[in-house]
């Protein structure tokens, strides 16, 4: 047989050997994807007891937690068992006594990892993301991230399985690797500055680690390494792969352009708080458009009689702008208009508070402003069970209540990690009568997180209550609500610019 025929021969044998593991994997993938295509994974979960029926405001743990874990574990066990059945360092393996090229054996294992484990998992995840109407570019970035992490994990599995003789040794080596990873991660974080994010380490490690692992495995299958050297190098490469999986980039492309300047932000400072540890300030933006502006503060400089002093960055974000969103149609707002001053607070350390008290004259705040434009995310009929799926997000109504004083809507949202997204704003509107009411958010009733098919694609769920304020005149005509809709307004980032503002303290 030529080399290609040898790869095909070994691959066919591997599929026969692992057919039950592959079947179990496909069943788990089908169930996980079905949870998203049928929306059963989103929740809420109903449980029927002997005395009463209850409802849990959360996603299905089976679909978003247990099935993704089972998918990964089945893939790891199948890969480890297959490699150990034809270990490269076992002199009495079947393939070493037959005229099969070592590279053909190695490539067959890689093909199994890619075609039988990784590609089906990514296909199931793609089906689930499509069910949420996720934009193609966003879904591709999520799948690329998941593919790199999943392949790194499978390569680490091949390395450890090639260096151990049975599953007991494989499990012991994996536990030792995970412990080493924790020790290395903690050690690195101790060396780095306190405000340094470990995920900011060079993401190139995620690409270098698989290449190094493939080269090392090629040497192992050709019998070019032996003894403690092979084990040390193999386990080090596996540890390198795990670390690379942690810093794998998200591949999400931020399409928010950076502009030279924008509307001016002005600040008004108040007196320090009762403990002299808090310095309040109000934020205004000189703009009359329908846009909102998210000011992310990066640094604060206090100038006083004794020079200047940099306060520790808090990395907080304040959003200012119009109270009412643009709905694309003319409406009369039933919610009274009021001037809402956005308040911020500078948290001062003891040393900074003393500096302010000793005669600080001015404070300069600088940061990045993101311009947000309103866009209709979904328009739902105002009734229980109405839902919409758009841009990778699910919006559903799971309860509606209203009387002569108040309107309340219970909204369930499911969101994959989309860069630059802000919390939607909700409005109850009756377009036929040209009237609308703004809803305020109340404390979340429930929420949580999970995964979409694979643990490398996260998803968040939130059950929230939105209601009108006490000053809103609620329509007394029930027909008004029969023709009303819940409008979800998404605030989309369209531009960024750097700005700073200075205010005298005395």
Cβ-contact 180, 186 below 8 angstroms: no
Return the bridge partners of 486, or none.
380, 428
Q: Which of 95-99, 256-260, 296-300, 390-394 has the highest mean pLDDT?
A: 390-394
Q: Which of 34-48, 107-121, 244-258 has the largest mean confidence?
A: 107-121
Q: How confident is the model at residue 146 (pLDDT cuts 50, 70, 90)?
A: very high
* 71-85, 354-368, 415-429: least confident range: 354-368
Please state, in angstroms and rounded to a whole number, the distance separating the CA atoms of residues 468 and 407. 6
Q: Name the band, by pLDDT with cuts 50, 70 and 90, for residue 131.
A: very high
Q: How far apart are CA 138 and CA 150, in angstroms?
A: 18
Q: How far is CA 467 from CA 20, 267, 425, in A?
A: 53, 31, 12
Query: Could you state, in order of their start, the residue ranges of all structural domains in the chain?
Result: 3-45+52-246, 265-504
Does residue 339 carry a pLDDT above 90? no
- By C-alpha distance, which of 448, 193, 222, 181 is closest to 313? 193
Please state which of the ranges 48-57, 342-351, 417-426, 427-436 shows the lowest mean pLDDT. 48-57
Check residue 91 and give its pLDDT: 56
pLDDT category of residue 85 using cuts at 50, 70 and 90: confident
Query: Are 335 and 469 spatial neighbours (Cβ–Cβ below 8 Å)?
Result: yes
User: Checking DSSP bridges between strand 407-415 and strand 454-467, what pairing results, if any?
Assistant: antiparallel
**pLDDT interval class at 79 (50, 70, 90):** very high
Q: According to DSSP H, which parts of 46-135 are helical?
A: 61, 67-85, 102-111, 119-131
The CA distances from residue 48 to 45, 412, 445, in Å, are 10, 21, 20
User: What is residue 387's predicted lDDT score, i.e. its pLDDT?
Assistant: 94
pLDDT for the residue 200: 56
Long-range contacts of 192-201 (CB under 8 A, 24+ apart): 195/313, 198/246, 198/247, 199/246, 199/247, 201/247
pLDDT digits 0-9 by tens, 480-494:
999 999 999 999 888
User: What are the tokens at 81?
Assistant: 């068992």
Task: Write out the H or E segment, with its range, that includes residue 281.
Answer: strand 278-285
Left, alpha or beta for 169 (phi > 0: left; psi -120 to 50: alpha)?
alpha
Q: How confident is the model at residue 284 (pLDDT cuts 50, 70, 90)?
A: confident
Q: For 90-109, what is each residue's pLDDT tens digit?
A: 555 555 556 677 788 888 99
Give the pLDDT mean for 232-261: 82
What was the pLDDT predicted at 96?
57
421 and 138 in contact (C-beta within 8 Å)?
no
HSE (side-chain half, CA atoms, 13 Å) at 503: 18
Averaged pLDDT, 364-387:
91
What would the DSSP string read from start to end of 36-69?
A: HHSSGGG-PEEEE-SS-EEEE-S--HIIIIIHHH
Cα dihedral 151/72/143/180 (nearest 10): -60
Q: 157: pLDDT confidence band, cut at 50, 70 and 90?
A: very high
- More confident of the two residues 484 and 355: 484
- Band (pLDDT 50/70/90 cuts) for residue 129 is very high
Specify the pLDDT at position 304. Answer: 75
Mean pLDDT calculated for residue range 39-52: 71
Top-confidence residue, 505 or 157: 157
Calpha distance 342→317 (Å, rounded): 11
**Which tens digits make up the pLDDT trace of 199-235?**
556 677 888 888 888 888 887 777 645 567 777 888 8
Is there a cis peptide before residue 44, judged by omega within 30 degrees of 0? yes
pLDDT at 47: 59
Look-up of token digits 């037959």:
98
Nearest residue to 458 (alpha-carbon basis) of 57, 60, 68: 68
**What percent of the chain lies above the pLDDT cut of 70?**
82
Both tokens of 493, joined, read: 């980032």
CA–CA distance, 396 with 381 (Å, rounded to integer): 10
pLDDT above 90 as % of the chain: 36
Per-residue model confidence (pLDDT) at position 322: 86
Looking at residue 117, what DSSP letter applies? Answer: I
Q: What is the pLDDT of residue 404?
A: 84
Distance CA 322, CA 290 (A): 6
Mean pLDDT of the chain: 83
pLDDT in tens, 431-473: 999 999 999 888 766 778 899 999 999 998 889 999 998 889 9
In this prediction, residue 312 carries a pLDDT of 61
Alpha-carbon gap, residue 117 to 83, rounded angstroms:
14
pLDDT digit string, tens, across residues 306-322: 777 776 656 678 888 88
pLDDT of residue 203: 74
Cα torsion angle, 202, 211, 77, 87, sign = negative
pLDDT at 167 over 80: yes
H or E segment and range at residue 171: helix 167-191
Output the pLDDT for position 51.
Answer: 55
**What angle in degrees, to the nearest 10, is found between the helix axes of 102-111 and 205-221?**
140
Q: Answer yes or no: is pLDDT of 477 > 60.
A: yes
Q: What is the C-alpha separation between 248 and 201, in angstroms, rounded?
A: 10
Classify residue 94 as exposed, middle or buried by CB count within 10 Å of its CB (0-12, 13-18, 19+): exposed
Q: What is the pLDDT of residue 100?
A: 76
Query: Where would I find the H helices in 337-401?
Result: 350-357
Element (DSSP H or E) covering residue 242: helix 227-246
Each residue's pLDDT tens digit, 10-26: 889 889 999 999 999 99
Rounded to whole angstroms, the Cα distance separating 451 from 32 reads 10
- Give yes or no for residue 32 having a pLDDT over 60: yes
């Amino acid at each position: 047989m030529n080399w290609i025929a040898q790869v095909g021969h070994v691959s066919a044998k591997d599929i026969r050997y692992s057919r039950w593991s592959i079947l179990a994997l496909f069943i788990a993938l089908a169930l996980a994807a079905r949870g998203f295509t049928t929306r059963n994974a989103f929740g809420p979960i109903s449980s029927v007891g002997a005395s009463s029926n209850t409802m849990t405001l959360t996603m299905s743990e089976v679909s978003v937690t247990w099935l993704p874990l089972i998918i990964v574990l089945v893939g790891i066990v199948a890969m480890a068992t297959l490699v150990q059945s034809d270990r490269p360092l076992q002199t009495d393996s079947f393939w070493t006594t037959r005229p099969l090229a070592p590279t053909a054996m190695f490539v067959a294992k890689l093909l199994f990892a890619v075609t039988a484990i990784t590609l089906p998992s990514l296909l199931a995840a793609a089906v689930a993301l499509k069910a949420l109407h996720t934009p193609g570019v966003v879904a591709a970035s999520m799948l690329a991230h998941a593919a790199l992490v999943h392949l790194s994990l499978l390569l680490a599995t091949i390395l450890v399985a090639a260096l151990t003789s049975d599953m007991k040794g494989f499990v012991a080596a994996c536990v030792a690797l995970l412990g080493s990873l924790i020790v290395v991660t903690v050690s690195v974080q101790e060396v780095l500055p306190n405000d340094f994010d470990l995920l900011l380490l060079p993401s190139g490690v995620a690409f270098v680690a698989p290449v190094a692992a493939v080269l090392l495995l090629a040497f192992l299958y050709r019998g070019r390494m032996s003894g403690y050297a092979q084990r040390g190098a193999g386990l080090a490469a596996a540890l390198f792969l795990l670390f690379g999986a942690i810093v794998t980039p998200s591949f999400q492309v931020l399409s928010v352009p950076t502009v030279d300047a924008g509307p001016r932000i002005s600040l008004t400072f108040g007196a320090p708080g009762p403990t002299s540890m808090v310095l309040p300030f109000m934020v205004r933006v000189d703009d009359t458009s329908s846009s909102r502006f998210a000011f992310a503060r990066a640094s604060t400089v206090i100038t006083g009689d004794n020079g200047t002093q940099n306060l520790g960055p808090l990395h907080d974000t304040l959003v200012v702008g119009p109270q009412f969103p643009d709905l694309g149609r003319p409406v009369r707002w039933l919610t009274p208009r009021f001037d809402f001053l956005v308040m911020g607070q500078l948290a001062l350390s003891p040393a900074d508070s003393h500096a302010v008290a000793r005669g600080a004259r001015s404070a300069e705040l600088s940061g990045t402003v993101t311009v947000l434009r309103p866009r209709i995310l979904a328009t739902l009929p105002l009734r229980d069970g109405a839902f919409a799926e758009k841009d990778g997000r699910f919006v559903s109504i799971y309860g509606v209540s209203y009387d002569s004083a108040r309107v309340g809507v219970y909204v369930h949202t499911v969101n994959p990690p989309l860069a630059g997204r802000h919390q939607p704003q909700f409005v109850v509107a009756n377009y036929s009568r040209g009237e609308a009411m703004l809803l305020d958010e109340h404390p979340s009733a429930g929420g949580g997180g999970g995964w979409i098919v694979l643990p490398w694609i996260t998803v968040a769920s939130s059950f929230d209550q939105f209601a009108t304020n006490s000053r809103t005149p609620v329509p007394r005509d029930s027909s008004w609500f029969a023709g009303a809709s819940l409008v979800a307004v998404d605030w989309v980032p369209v531009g960024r610019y750097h700005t700073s503002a200075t205010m005298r303290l005395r």
